[in-house]
Every structure is written in C-alpha cells, then in structure tokens.
Amino acid sequence: MVFIVEQEEISVKEYLTRKQNISHRLLVRLKQSGGIFCNGKNVWVRHICRRGDRLELQFAPEVSEGVPQENIPLDILYEDEALLAINKPPGMPPHPSYKHAQGTVAGAVAGYYARNGVQTQVRALGRLDRNTSGVMVFGKNPFVQDRMIDRQRGGDIQKVYLAVAEGNFSQTEGTVEAPIGRKEGSMIERCVTESGKAAQTRYEVLCQREGHALLKLYPLTGRTHQLRVHMAYLGHPLAGDTLYGGSGAQIARHALHAYELHLPHPLMGKMLCLQAPLPQDMRILIDKTGLVW
C-alpha cells in the first residue's frame, strides 16, 4: 500500500491513524513486522513525514489456517490489487465446517490466491448463507479489510437482494423494523423477539402475481437470517425457505440472491457497483410463477 503525504509535517503514526484511519491493532502489527517505509527507508511510527513523501506499508505473507486450497472455478465479477468480488453459486458453504470441510467459498478463494501468487488470508466483507447466491467481496490485505468494515459501519456500503416471496403484498414498498434473536431451543433458527437486536429491512415489490412476489430487499442492518426472518414476519416467507414457513415445491432452496453491492473503493474512493446475474434456479422460478423481471 502506497500513500503520498500531503501534509507539511506529520508523524507516521498520526498520518496512518488520523488520515488513513488505520486501527491500533493494525498499526501494532505493522510496527512488529517492520512493514513501514518512507521513501524506501524502513522507519518507526515516530518518524516525521513531509509533503510529497512516499509512505509504503508492506504486509507479511500469510495464509488462512484451516482453509484447504481448492481448485474450484470462481465466477469473478471484479478484481484489482485491493479487492476480489465473486458471484457465489447457491448451495456453496461460505467457510469450512465439520459438516462441510471442502467445497467452500473460502477454499475456492484460497486456492485462487495460491495459484496467482496472492499471499494473504481469505477476508470476506460479510458472508452469505450456504443457499444464498450472489455478490461476495474479499479484501486482499488487512488495511483494505479494515477500511471496508469502517465504510460498512458508517453506512457507506449498500446491499441489494432479489427475492421471490410467497403471497401478495398490500403495500408495494415499506420498511420492517423488528428485533431479531435466536429462537429458543435452536442453534440455527432466528425469530422476531423483543430480546433480540435491532433490525431493519426495506423492501420494494417489483412484480406480483397470484401467490408470489418478486422483491428488492435492502438490509439496513446485518442480523443473521434477517431478510428471511423479516419476510416471514410479514406473512410472506421466501419461496423454498422451509425453515421459515416457505414451500419447497418450486425451488430447492430459499429464493434469495445478493444482486448488487455498492461500495466506495477502499483505496481510490470511486464508487463501485458490483452486480451478479440471477442464477438459473431463480430465473426458472420467476418464469414458472409468471413474474416479470
């Protein structure tokens, strides 16, 4: 990572923490690894930089422990030195677990990094359920990941999902504000509960026919299963979402797709709009139910 200092005089520590919003944890890591350079010379955080100086951060090579490097093709939507964005297929677990040790998104990305000489951990900006498809973004170093998380917390990153829900909506747009928590007695299922964490979802009905509706969903918070729980709470579970009351008659998984991700580039600042085409199973469902997309 390279920065050109614009201030007349400023310490490395002040520049990185105040001007670039580097976390204390990451600054300590850079200090310990000797990864800070000014005009090509290794420097301490107390070093004073001047206007026009070239400040460079070098991160030690790393790999994701416990993640197998798998040779699985990726549908790449965007890639540069800072980011990798893919279109995740439905049915692919995001990370290895005792049930799914292989065939995961993390394993596929780790393998892709290894084949292309990218020596870094697999760092996802959020993650999708196994049966949710669509855009997933990965930061290629700790600085990029920290900055993306900051942007997400600040509300600068917008996620847009496409979904097919059951039933017809009386209002074609609205916002669901209902707290979500773990359902008693279940390790997986969530529910709307007063003891849960605040959750907000905005929805827009794009088209509806008797029995089904095509929706755009905008999660304003990031709770587990939020979109699925909120639609079920409205009485409109997603098609295929048998966990939350939907029917599996016409699609074998919940009909939810992370369609767009709008985010400012963590280094260049330009706004990126990453879009993932609808997978075949959802296109078939839309056709079968007479919806128009």
pLDDT tens track for 53-92: 999 999 888 888 889 999 999 999 999 999 999 999 999 9
Confidence at residue 23, expressed as pLDDT on a 0 to 100 scale: 87
Residues 6+ apart with CB under 8 A from 162: 214, 215, 216, 217, 256, 257, 259, 278, 282
Alpha helices in 70-207 (DSSP H): 105-115, 142-153
User: What is the reported pLDDT for 168?
Assistant: 96
pLDDT score of 63: 82
* Residue among 117, 118, 123 at smallest CA distance from 67: 123
Q: What is the pLDDT along the chain (293 residues), one digit of tens a residue?
A: 889 999 999 999 999 998 888 888 899 989 888 999 999 999 999 999 999 999 999 988 888 888 999 999 999 999 999 999 999 999 999 998 888 889 999 999 999 999 999 999 999 998 899 999 999 999 999 999 989 988 898 899 999 999 999 999 999 999 999 999 999 999 899 999 999 999 999 999 999 998 999 999 999 999 999 999 999 999 999 999 999 999 999 999 999 999 999 999 998 889 999 999 999 999 999 999 999 98
pLDDT the model gives residue 121: 94
The pLDDT of residue 60 is 86
Which CATH number fits the domain 159-258+284-288, given the four candidates 3.30.420.40, 3.30.1510.10, 3.30.2350.10, 1.10.3720.10? Answer: 3.30.2350.10
For position 261, what pLDDT does the model report?
97
pLDDT of residue 280: 97
Start-end of H helices in 154-244 = 226-233
Q: Torsion angle, CA of 132/158/183/128, rounded to 10 degrees?
A: 30
Q: What pLDDT, on a 0 to 100 scale, did the predictor assign at position 69?
A: 95
Catalytic residue among 53, 75, 80, 129: 129
Q: Where are the domains of the chain?
A: 2-57, 159-258+284-288
Please give the model's pTM, rounded to 2 decimal places.
0.91
Structure tokens, 242: 């048998």
Does residue 129 have an active-site annotation? yes
